[in-house]
Structure 1
Amino acid sequence: MSKTKDLTIKDVRVIVSSPGRNFVTLKIVTECGIHGIGDATVNGREMAVASYLQEHVAPCLIGRNAHEIEDIWQYLYKGVYWRKGPINMACIAAVDVALWDIKGKVAGLPVYELLGGKSRRAVTTYAHANGETIEGTLDSAEALIAQGFKAIRLQTAVPGLEGTYGVLGDKKDYYEQQSSRPLPPEQPWSTRKYMNSIEALFREARDRFGDDIALTHDVHSRLTPIEAARLGKMLEPYDLLFLEDAVAAENQDSYRIIRDHTTTPLAIGEIYNTIWDCKELIQNQWIDYIRTATTHAGGITGVRRIADFAALFHVRIAPHGAPDLSPICYAAQAHLGLWAPNFGIQEFVGFGNEVSDTVFSHDLTLKDGMIHVGDSPGLGVDFDEEAAAAHPYKRSYLPVSRLEDGTLWSW
């Protein structure tokens, strides 16, 4: 590693753009001209993150040595009385990932080599199959299997409900649901209707695809612990890879109740921001997969700590991979996934679209349902600021759910 380059941080840029959807991108530039990029997107609260970065984080970075990743991480975490939280940790994550990108470029090595090298050839992913009907969902799954995916998440509309998580009907995204007056779309929810229909989806999936395809399902925090326990027991014959977010994430002890009643593997963690949020779940072995994302849990440094801790308790990582996470996040997680001995699987909805491909470039490739990481120094991702400027921020929100009597529920 060169010791002659001046890695003093001289510029920190925060760019909010919407190439297909909103992203908050951080660019850190050193005196020698080497730069790194990080993702700080918090869907529906993008400008809060951008402001925090611009007004409070960026001034603290100017003049610091970009090589000092750990000290800067601790400085931004311990040096702030108001720790944790999605906004704060997304900002720390963006800085952390950008610094790892710089360190890799200086070393002339991809980030996974700096972490300790490969533990596997490529990163196994699971894709999303959605549909208005069971048949539609399974047709979508069949198309994904034909593309080489070996693991599929199944979501289908609940009969009798207008709008269901994961199923957008004739809308391609949440922007279209909000039209010219962006406010959170509202969707109805009925646990009884859901519970009466969900088993058929997995029964028919196993009948159609056999036992070799791994299947997952996202409850999206809609159930109580005992309802989730019943669902897990109901789905045991269909051998799920995992049941995701069965109960709201705040009360970790809820998962003890589920675990006591079912052997269906459990996954949670996409809204967790630190190791402290999932510590009890992991050490009590109430879950099987932890789903924290680099963007939302303190970057590569934060998720690496979680992965190492989880490995002690037979818990594997399965990082969140929603479309509101930019290709920078996907790259960071791919490098982590190559390295982590206890990697499980990576959620995958695509690296982007035709518009975002004009803004983000990367050396990731997908083949047979697996992400292959190139050998570019750093993350292997770059960001075109000029192209991003052509796609200004567009305010948008995730939906909210209400029970059929109007009670606000978890979305």
Structure 2
Amino acid sequence: SLVDGLLNNGMGVYEMGAAGTAIERLVVKTVARQMGFGENADGVLTSGGTLANLTALLAARSVKSPSPVWQEGHREQLALMVSEEAHYCVDRAVRIMGWGEGGIIRVPADGRYCMQAGRLEEYLRKARREGKTVIAVVGSACSTSTGSFDGLEAIADFCQKHGLWFHVDGAHGGALCFSEKHRSLLAGIERADSVAMDFHKMLLTPAVATALIFRDGQHSFRTFSQKAQYLWERETDEEWFNLAKRTFECTKLMMGLKAYALLRTYGPELWAQYLDRVMELGRRFATLAQETDGVELAVDPQCNIVCFRYHPEGMEGEALNALNEAIRQALLEEGRFYIVKTNLRGSTYLRVTLSNPFTTEADIRALLGSVAAIAAAGIKSGAGERNAY
């Protein structure tokens, strides 16, 4: 970040940031290989997963839309399909592209909060009856709330059958491509048309840096095409080194340097060790939570995101939700722990993301002990009442 700030190179045009552009390409190609893509894969780095997902869906629109939207605007009611547990930025992208509320088709999740891929056919038929042109499916690897991984192979099969664009939002879990132990969670990701993956979530990199990978590198040039004669002579040139032809950003940070510095200094082995460590922390937290009286898991975790709640016998509904909301507030006021909450099908759960590799079992036990103690005190003084804490 210091070098980036001192150089202050704009990364949109090669002449303004030659070294940073080459570094970015090296990083992108490294990620593409780790995900199992071939040599034709290419991509860019963006300022965050939200922008990466939007850019990928703009590419999907350019490639799969029956009419040239970029030049002529919308003629059809375009739509995409996504799990009901997907990150909100997918919904936001659909609305930004002008597809409206009807442009996002939410497929129900199963008991593990993974997309029910077996119902994609049903929802596609329904969308077509309603006059919608479905062009893409978005898979989550993983979901934000519970860290659940959609079945990417099944989604890939469906997209291949129907000629749809397959995008994977791997902002959090896509990094597992660097872990031999856990990369099976991403089985099928190499069949995606595009993948978004954050460096700043699971790869020890300061915010913000996201890789957007296209299986067919030419698709990265389909998203944006417009005249800017003071920058380049021909708008159709597929020049990998002029990044502004493939991204929203013209004056963008030299974000590839962060990831490159780690790769160059420690190699991908550092990332593999880190990923294995935080994934194990997730498993250990789940085990200790199940051993704590009154604590229950929302779902057996697949990664380092764990959702749990305190559930006293005989307490349900709003009283139970209020109790867990009050537990979180009390934890924040104590100042020893910071955790968040999430709502899963009407129920409030406490949520932790174990990203610090120096977290110990003693830390986890202390948190769970505090949760139980706060809950016991609250129940004694007036169960579930928000003002009782």
| TM-score, with structure 1 as normaliser | 0.29
Greater share of helix: 2
Decide which structure has the larger Cα Rg and report it. Answer: 2
